Structures are given as C-alpha cells and as structure tokens.
C-alpha cells in the first residue's frame, strides 16, 4: 500500500539575460546559440532546462497520481461564536477610558482627599 500527501508550490519570476550577450535567448537559440563558453549563457540555458524538467516531472506525477487520487472533502466550518462577546467589547473600551480619566482628572484627587479625611 502506498499512502502519502503531496503538495507542491513553486513561485519564481525570472527575468535574466547575459550581460555580454544580451540577445541570447535559450528558448530560441538553444545550446548551440551560446557564443564561446560563456558561463552566464550556460547558466540561462541550464535554468531553462531545469524548468522544463520540473514541468515534465509535475505533469508525469499528476498523470500517474490521477487514477489513485482521493477526492478531498471540503473542510467543515467552525460554528460561528455567538454575538454576545462582540457586543461586550465596546463597553470594555468605555471602561478603559473611564480609568484614564480618573488618573488625570478630578475623580482621583477626590479619592486622595477622601483617604486623608479617613
Ligand atoms: Zn553570455
């Protein structure tokens, strides 16, 4: 029995050209279009080859896995929390502002005065 999950995501945006042979295009010119033994041009060509091999490997994998793939059931959504907690949040905010008012304003001073009096 063979059983595994497989997830592949590759995202690369390539924009490259040889600084010496700016017109070299590995897709159009191929390996034979490389002038001299330019490493940058070879690098571009190898990159294109790697991409083509990867595409072919993914296609082959999907083709072979297709008949055996198990259809996924959609995830069950969690039940929505009740509206009560969200309704309480604005009151908590109001309570916080009340606390800051007592620090800076009159109510705190009144509290100190009350303590002295006791
Ligand atoms: Zn080059």
pLDDT of residue 81: 72
CA of 23 to the centre of ligand 1 (A): 9
- Which pLDDT belongs to residue 21? 96
Q: How far does residue 58's CA lie from ligand 1's centre (Å)? A: 30
Question: The pTM is what?
Answer: 0.57
pLDDT at 97: 46
What is the structure's pLDDT at 39? 97
Question: Separation of 16 CA from ligand 1 center, angstroms?
Answer: 11
Domain-by-domain residue ranges, the chain?
Answer: 26-68
54 alpha carbon – ligand 1 mean position (Å):
24
Exposure of 30 in the CB half-sphere (CA atoms within 13 A): 1
Report pLDDT for 84: 59
Q: Can you point out the beta strands (E) in 33-117?
A: none
Between the CA of 21 and the centroid of ligand 1 the distance, in Å, is: 4
Distance 14 CA to ligand 1 centre (A): 17
Distance (Å, rounded) from C-alpha 40 to C-alpha 47?
Answer: 10
Helix (H) or strand (E) holding 108: helix 106-117
Predicted confidence at residue 15, as pLDDT, reads 95
| pLDDT tens series, the chain, 118 aa | 999 999 999 999 999 999 999 999 999 999 999 999 999 999 999 999 999 999 999 999 999 999 999 887 888 887 777 665 555 555 444 444 444 444 444 444 444 445 544 4
């Amino acid at each position: 029995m063979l059983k595994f999950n497989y997830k592949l995501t590759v995202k690369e945006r390539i924009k490259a050209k040889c600084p010496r042979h700016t017109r070299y295009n590995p897709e159009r010119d191929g390996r034979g279009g490389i002038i001299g033994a330019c490493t940058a041009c070879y690098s571009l060509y190898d990159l294109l080859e790697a991409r083509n091999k990867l595409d072919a490997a993914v296609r082959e994998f999907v083709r072979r896995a297709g008949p055996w793939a198990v259809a996924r059931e959609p995830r069950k959504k969690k039940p929505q929390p009740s509206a009560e907690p969200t309704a309480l949040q604005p009151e908590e905010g109001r309570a916080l502002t009340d606390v800051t008012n007592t620090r800076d304003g009159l109510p705190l001073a009144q509290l100190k005065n009350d303590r002295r009096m006791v």
